[in-house]
């Protein structure tokens, strides 16, 4: 790998990657070769004949014909030389073999718009910044799984094909399923809860979720990767928040350790491992704080809005120096039927949203596990009890008190790296008008 060259001693080496640039000069040719770990300069001084005329020999002829993006294997002599700007090393070529020649025109450039870049995502992802994003994602996810596995959570893969909606009739994709209709899972909610009734105790899943959301914002996608976990025998949503904090800390610690320097270099962002406990603010209080800062949330329901989330985040950053805040105790009116309500005030739920750098990344809650109350709440929200019957059965046959959260993976990455669009941190974005590539 190219990253290993700096530590290697001078001598013969073979590297492989794609051509980033070619400078085909009269006396010497330069190629910048990149692989997923870095870039290196290849140099080929041209040979001249007795009269001083340049000879069309190899690899000179191949280099002259090289198009940007072609994948090649290069063999030559590694030489450390402080004068070489690119890492202080270069490779004096002895041979160069083209694995695949790229067609010469390059459809995107550094200043291409996001949609154009998404059209050519496979080229866009060759950018070192974009490659790094998915290495960070890998590290982050793995750290979460390490935490779960070492704490005896079971990994589950819930079905994405369902007989009924999991969240609501709105934003639902329909699938032709033999002679009937199936629906794409909007969340693993029901099946995470089923695991509690099944006595699994603690579970996790990282997988796709689907929302037929027709909006074109920078934060919504029709398909996204959802980070989900659920655990039994909790006393309240406080236990879920504690787990949530621990997972975030595990993920951020691993990312900072493995990629902190590169993130600083390529994104100019200092990754901060958050301290625990994260600040917790009941939603009603958060709205008062935001109002005191001069922002009245322009909504008729009890919810926050994006600007309100930015404001409370700014407040928490100023007051507590923290990038995260749990907004707790959302109103029952704006939460799903399966959120447990306060024992002494049914207008509030044992739930929270986690806000990171001004944007909501997750919703968590204690779930209502008493089937009579659950049925009542479902009816109140206008859901059809028949469609929910299979779900209600989980509770009829016994289930412990439990709770959990779902978190958008691409959102965490977007906010961690101070990016403004989910498309940047999604491998292949899906939106109302985007199914390609």
Q: Which of residues 327-346 bind its own copies (CB under 8 A)?
A: none
Q: Which stretch binds its own copies (CB under 8 A): 68-76, 320-328, 359-367, 413-421?
A: 68-76
Q: Any known ligand binding at 408?
A: yes
What's the N-to-C CA distance of the chain in angstroms?
A: 28
17 touching its own copies, by CB under 8 A: yes
Euclidean distance between CA atoms 197 and 186, whole angstroms: 21
Q: Which stretch binds its own copies (CB under 8 A): 82-90, 263-271, 292-300, 429-437?
A: 429-437
* Comparison of 78 and 195: residue with beta carbon closer to its own copies: 195
Euclidean distance between CA atoms 43 and 148, whole angstroms: 49
Euclidean distance between CA atoms 341 and 405, whole angstroms: 16
By C-alpha distance, which of 361, 358, 363, 365 is closest to 290? Answer: 358
Single residue of 5, 43, 91, 162 touching its own copies by CB under 8 A: 162
Residues 165-204 touching its own copies, rule: CB under 8 A, are: 173-178, 180, 182, 184, 190-191, 194-195, 197-202
Q: What would the DSSP string read from start to end of 258-318?
A: HHHHHHHHHH-----PPPSSPPEEEHHHHHHHHHHTT-----SSS---HHHHHHHHHHHHH
247 touching its own copies, by CB under 8 A: no
How many residues touch its own copies (CB under 8 A)? 99
Whether 163 and 184 have beta carbons less than 8 Å apart is answered as no
Euclidean distance between CA atoms 255 and 141, whole angstroms: 10
208 touching its own copies, by CB under 8 A: yes
User: DSSP class of residue 10?
Assistant: S
Q: CB of residue 39 vs its own copies: minimum separation in angstroms?
A: 11
142 touching its own copies, by CB under 8 A: yes
Binding map of its own copies across residues 87-116, x = CB under 8 A, - = no contact: ------------xxxxx-------------
Q: Which stretch binds its own copies (CB under 8 A): 34-42, 294-302, 334-342, 344-352?
A: 34-42
- Looking from the CA of 149 toward its CB, the CA atoms found within 13 Å total 7
* Comparison of 157 and 264: residue with beta carbon closer to its own copies: 157
* Comparison of 358 and 431: residue with beta carbon closer to its own copies: 431
25 touching its own copies, by CB under 8 A: no
Whether 261 and 307 have beta carbons less than 8 Å apart is answered as no
Single residue of 50, 53, 343, 436 touching its own copies by CB under 8 A: 436
399 touching its own copies, by CB under 8 A: yes
CA 432 to chain centre: 20
* Backbone φ, ψ for residue 95 (5° rounding): -150, 155
Q: CB of residue 152 vs its own copies: minimum separation in angstroms?
A: 8
């Amino acid at each position: 790998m190219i990253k290993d060259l700096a530590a290697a001693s001078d001598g013969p080496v073979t590297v492989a990657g794609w051509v980033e640039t070619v400078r085909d000069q009269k006396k010497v040719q330069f190629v910048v070769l990149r692989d997923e770990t870095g870039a290196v300069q290849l140099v080929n001084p041209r040979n001249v004949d007795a009269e001083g005329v340049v000879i069309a020999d190899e690899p000179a002829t191949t280099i002259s014909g090289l198009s940007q993006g072609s994948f090649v294997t290069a063999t030559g002599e590694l030489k450390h030389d402080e004068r070489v700007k690119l890492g202080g090393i270069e490779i004096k070529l002895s041979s160069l073999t083209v694995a695949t020649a790229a067609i010469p025109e390059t459809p995107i450039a550094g200043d291409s718009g996001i949609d154009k870049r998404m059209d050519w995502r496979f080229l866009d992802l060759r950018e070192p910044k974009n490659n790094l994003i998915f290495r960070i994602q890998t590290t982050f996810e793995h750290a979460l799984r390490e935490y779960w596995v070492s704490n005896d959570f079971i990994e589950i893969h819930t079905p994405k094909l369902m007989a009924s909606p999991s969240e609501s009739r709105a934003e639902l994709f329909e699938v032709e399923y033999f002679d009937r209709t199936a629906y794409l899972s909007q969340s693993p909610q029901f099946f995470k809860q089923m695991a509690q009734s099944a006595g699994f105790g603690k579970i996790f899943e990282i997988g796709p979720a689907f929302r037929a959301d027709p909006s074109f914002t920078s934060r919504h996608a029709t398909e996204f990767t959802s980070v989900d976990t659920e655990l039994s025998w909790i006393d309240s949503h406080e236990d879920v928040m504690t787990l949530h904090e621990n997972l975030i800390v595990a993920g951020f610690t691993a990312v900072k350790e493995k990629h902190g320097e590169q993130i600083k270099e390529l994104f100019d962002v200092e990754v901060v491992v958050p301290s625990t406990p994260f600040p917790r603010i009941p939603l009603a209080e958060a709205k008062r704080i935001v109002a005191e800062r001069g922002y009245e949330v322009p909504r008729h329901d009890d919810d926050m809005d994006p600007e309100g989330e930015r404001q409370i985040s700014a407040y928490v950053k100023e007051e507590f120096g923290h990038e995260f805040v749990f907004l707790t105790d959302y109103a029952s009116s704006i939460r799903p039927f399966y959120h447990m309500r306060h024992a002494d005030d049914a207008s509030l739920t044992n739930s929270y949203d986690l806000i990171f750098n001004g944007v909501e990344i997750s919703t968590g809650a204690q779930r209502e596990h008493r089937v009579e109350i659950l049925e009542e709440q479902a009816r109140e929200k206008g859901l059809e009890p028949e469609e929910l019957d299979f779900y209600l059965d989980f509770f009829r046959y016994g289930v412990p008190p439990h709770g959990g959260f779902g978190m958008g993976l691409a959102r965490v990455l977007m906010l961690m790296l101070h990016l403004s669009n989910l498309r940047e941190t999604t491998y292949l974005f899906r939106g109302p008008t985007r199914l390609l590539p």
